[in-house]
Amino acid sequence: MIHENLSRLRERINSACARAGRDLREIAIIAVSKGRPLEQIKGVIAEGIHDIGESRVRETLPKYNALRHMPRLHGVRWHMVGHLQANKAKAAVGIFDLIHSVDSLDIAEEISRQASRIGKVQDVLIEIKTSPEAAKLGLRPEEAVEAIKQMSGLKNINLKGLMTIAPIVDSPEKTRPYFRRLRQLMDEINEFRIANSELRILSMGMTDDFEIAVEEGATMLRLGRAVFEG
């Protein structure tokens, strides 16, 4: 099933790329495996996926420990896509290659502090709340520039890009303005050199809306159901 899912997904991503004049190689599939067993993670890795996304540190630790000693799996990169609490920052920097969900200066500072203790520079994305729903996490676009300026002074984090979660809507097309907003924000930050290096990653697009996200410039798609469910 995972094999068929991935070939269908790659075709759909390819078509979205063709519509947008983009190159398929600019786009990584992050297989979001929260709530799914180790065997299924091994299954996606066997299909050539190297990026695994999880949303809870506590759930990731046993999966990470089970996989890290398997030589064939050394190239796997772990992505934290869920909200990170300060008391989990230490464990998170020990596991994750990229934390997508930095949503405050406080958590950025804690990540940097914990990373410095183990001599790591942690790659992170800043989560942006592109839609006004109260429930959503992330920095508001108006707050982002100032926060990113401050985060740029932290020695042990490396700002790589932005992430957003589109609101739940009744047709994928309605997500387009949120993805476009994220892209514009990244362009502004780069144009005015707000961050200490150029931001290049746009983590946006999930099972229900990834084609629109590709058309709007996504470089990382976070896909759960489309990868694992038949």
Ligand X SMILES: *Cc1c(COP(=O)(O)O)cnc(C)c1O
207 binds ligand X (CB under 6 A): yes
Count the neighbouring beta carbons within 10 Å of the beta carbon of residue 50.
14
Q: Cβ closer to ligand X: 31 or 194?
A: 31
Cβ 117 to ligand X shortest distance, Å = 27
102 binds ligand X (CB under 6 A): no
Question: Binding string, 28-47, against ligand X, x = CB under 6 A?
Answer: ----x-x-------------
Residue in 48, 28, 44 with CA at minimum distance from that of residue 36: 44
Can you list the alpha helix ranges (DSSP code H) found in 21-160? 38-46, 57-67, 89-95, 105-117, 141-151
Relative to beta strand 201-203, strand 77-80 is unpaired
Q: Of the ranges 114-122, 130-138, 141-149, 216-224, which one interacts with ligand X (CB under 6 A)?
A: 216-224
Residue among 186, 206, 213, 218 that touches ligand X (CB under 6 A): 206
Cβ 167 to ligand X shortest distance, Å = 13
* Binders in 56-85 for ligand X, by CB under 6 A: 81-82
138 binds ligand X (CB under 6 A): no
The phi, psi pair for 79, rounded to 5°, reads -120, 130
Q: What is the 3-state secondary structure (H, E, C) of 40-56?
A: HHHHHHHCCCCEEEECC
Question: Under 8 Å CB-to-CB from 142, ≥6 apart: which residues?
Answer: none
# chain residues binding ligand X, by CB under 6 A? 13
Q: For binding to ligand X (CB under 6 A), which residues are involved?
A: 32, 34, 55, 81-82, 165, 206-207, 222-226
